[in-house]
Amino acid sequence: MSAVEVGQEAVELSVVIPCLNEAETIGICLDKINRVFAEHGIRGEAVVGDNGSTDGSIEIAREKGARVINVTQKGYGNALRGGIAAARAPYIIMGDADDSYDFLEIPKFLKQLRAGHQFVYGCRLPTGGGTVMPGAMPWSHRHIGNPLFSLLARLWFHAPIHDVYCGMRGFRKDAYEELNQQCTGMEFATEMVIKSSLFRRDIVEVPITLHPDGRKSRKPHLRTMRDGWRTLRFFLLYSPRWLFLLPGLVLGLVGFVIALLGGFKASIGNAVLGVHSLTAGLLMAYIGLQTVFFGVIAKTFATNESLSPADALLKRLQKFVTLEKGILLSVAAILGGVALFAIVLALWWQSGFGPLDYAQTLRLVVPGTFLIATGWQTLFFAFTVSLLSIRRR
């Protein structure tokens, strides 16, 4: 990738820093960036995405030669988005303004970008070769939160990383723009990891060192429980398979097995399964099926909005389960339920509309109710998926 011409100078690298009242440390960060540019002969620029600083950060940044981009929309993600949009170079490296990331390590990232990688993620944790200096990261973040979410990122999204929260990273600007990121807050960095992995971009990880926060006058922006929940919520929303499909399938299959055992009065040890097991099992099966339907709807929406790529399972499902097949299946289920109710009505008529044998009739009424409810739900599920699948410009 070639550098971009800016006047008479070709800029190869833009270093983007989000900023909100970072007067204590932003000058230190920019000094390191300028030093790297000079010592390694890098044609680069520093871009500060300022989110409304009032402590002199803007003036310091300009004195150090940085371009300051005023970003009125609040949020960590917005500050970065504004800075990245204004960046002039094809290669971008981002990092925080608190001096916890050592910008003298920029050459590590640039080397990988020059080698052709699209996304270069830093790793501070020893599992990925990184180093955490004493006092740089809370114990719970280092040994519980970050490793756990990094593991989930590898399992759920096949992200080849060990430090999902690392805020120092490099990427090609064109590759970043293809992701069409939407998050405006702290989830911005997590969204980048997930989407670059889902869309199978060329990713590599480099070890870096995390230093203690250089700010003394105020606490870091991160809040352990709040940001941990926000990350888990974001992971779940971006993974319909783990949020909907797998739990729904497991619940549905278990419920169906219990319903069969109850319907046939099976015994397990001294326990005899009857109509109560049949009812509970079909309820579980119904909830499981409904959860799977929500998963298919969520995946279809995410694919259409380019939040995630379509997978092979969804494509096969869309070809097999058409609107017409869904209508026929739902009508068959509803008619089957009505037929079971008709049998119960006939039994009631034969008894002269007197009391019924509940142990016998509930084995018909409960499945009949299940079939009618499932058929009705399947009908509108088929229409909803068909509506979401309409091709749009």
| pLDDT tens-digit series, residues 202-214 | 999 999 999 999 8
For position 9, what pLDDT does the model report? 64
For position 360, what pLDDT does the model report? 83
For position 46, what pLDDT does the model report? 98
User: When comparing pLDDT for 196 and 232, which is higher?
Assistant: 196
CA dihedral in degrees (164, 306, 12, 30; nearest 10)? -40
For position 392, what pLDDT does the model report? 59
Give the pLDDT band (50/70/90) at residue 7: very low
* Mean predicted confidence (pLDDT) in 160-186: 94
* Mean predicted confidence (pLDDT) in 374-390: 88
Give the pLDDT band (50/70/90) at residue 273: confident
* Mean predicted confidence (pLDDT) in 257-269: 88
pLDDT beyond 70 at 347: yes
pLDDT beyond 90 at 45: yes
* Mean predicted confidence (pLDDT) in 190-194: 94
For position 209, what pLDDT does the model report? 97
* Cα 135 from chain centre: 30
* Mean predicted confidence (pLDDT) in 88-98: 97
Q: pLDDT per residue over 114-132, tens digit each? A: 999 999 999 999 999 999 9
Give the pLDDT band (50/70/90) at residue 329: very high
Give the pLDDT band (50/70/90) at residue 336: very high
For position 195, what pLDDT does the model report? 94
Give the pLDDT band (50/70/90) at residue 8: very low
For position 2, what pLDDT does the model report? 46
pLDDT beyond 50 at 304: yes
* Mean predicted confidence (pLDDT) in 234-247: 88
Q: pLDDT per residue over 98-118, tens digit each? A: 999 999 999 999 999 999 999
Mean of per-residue pLDDT scores for the chain:
90
